[in-house]
Amino acid sequence: MNRLLIAALFACLSLPVCAEGFITRLLNKPVPGGVAVVPLAEADTPARVRYQGKPVLTVREDDKRWIAIVGIPLTVKPGTEHIESDTGERLNFTVQPREYASQHITLRNQQQVNPDAARLKRIQRELEEQLEAYRQFSARQPSNLLFDRPVDGRLSSAFGLRRFFNGEERNPHSGLDFAVPTGTPIKAPAAGRVILVGDYFFNGKTVFVDHGQGLISMFCHLSAIDVKVGDEVVRGGHLGKVGATGRATGPHLHWNVSLNDARVDPAIFIGTFK
């Protein structure tokens, strides 16, 4: 079967009909914190594939072949990675290096840098709740993979920045920030189902939207949440309003995009990846 697959891939490479499709051109940014688009074998139904043991989004490109759209965690080192089908076949892809800049942030509230024991307990509980949301995998097909911007406004902090709060290194920036005023309405970048809302120590008022097959958006630091768990939202549907709740130095929208439980650069999905 592997040999057949390789033969099919070689045939593809030599035929113009198999040229890279629109989704591949748009989304294939195989770097740590990026996305790898991996073509699958010719079939009427997609192979079920996993990356690091987690189910992966598969879509049909240009009404032709199936492709796997794989989220690459920031912690993955450049080199050869692979996805694996349920039948045990491996498909390799190459992760290329990418440099991320550093950002230094000063917080007046020292509790937001080194929280005390009681707060750490709350933070841990909230973290678990959110990690569980990222692990969800529903059967629905995403309505669109080229996302609409959730707000109109200037992009501020980029994804992947190494962050130092009052000089102490913390987790890298897991999403993309938009500098927009408090009260700005937030629109769903694609259709989806609201799977979690909360008011968290670090993230403030937060909404999770499941777009399908492990493709999940998270919006945080909101001033108002206007949806509840279980709501179905249409593409462009209203989710809430921008604010500065949680660990935020001022009003902005923070947007995470997650694929197969890996936080990836949202800029890829709005065509602004550099």
List interacting residues with Zn ion (CB under 5 A): 177, 254
Secondary structure of residue 12 in the 3-state scheme: helix
CB-wise, 51 or 200, nearer to Zn ion? Answer: 200
Backbone angles phi, psi at 92, to 5 degrees: -90, 155
∠ CA 129-200-71, nearest 5°, is: 55
* Sign, CA torsion 115/120/125/129: positive
CB-wise, 66 or 202, nearer to Zn ion? Answer: 202
* Shortest-Cβ-distance residue relative to Zn ion: 254
Instruction: Quote the CA–CA distance of 164 and 151 in Å, as a whole number.
Output: 27
Q: Which two tokens mark 201? A: 């120590």
CB of 42 to Zn ion, least distance (A): 41
CB of 177 to Zn ion, least distance (A): 4
Instruction: Quote the CA–CA distance of 39 and 49 in Å, as a whole number.
Output: 11
CB of 159 to Zn ion, least distance (A): 9
CB-wise, 50 or 170, nearer to Zn ion? Answer: 170
CB of 133 to Zn ion, least distance (A): 17
Instruction: Quote the CA–CA distance of 247 and 241 in Å, as a whole number.
Output: 17
Tokens 């949301």 belong to residue: 133
CB-wise, 177 or 261, nearer to Zn ion? Answer: 177
CB of 245 to Zn ion, least distance (A): 13
Question: Is 9 within 8 Å of 92 (Cβ atoms)?
Answer: no
CB of 253 to Zn ion, least distance (A): 8
Instruction: Quote the CA–CA distance of 187 and 206 in Å, as a whole number.
Output: 14
Q: Which two tokens mark 250? A: 């001022």
CB-wise, 81 or 177, nearer to Zn ion? Answer: 177
CB of 244 to Zn ion, least distance (A): 11
CB-wise, 193 or 241, nearer to Zn ion? Answer: 241
Q: Which two tokens mark 56? A: 């992966």
Type of residue numbered 246: G
CB-wise, 193 or 254, nearer to Zn ion? Answer: 254
Beta bridge partners of 104: 164
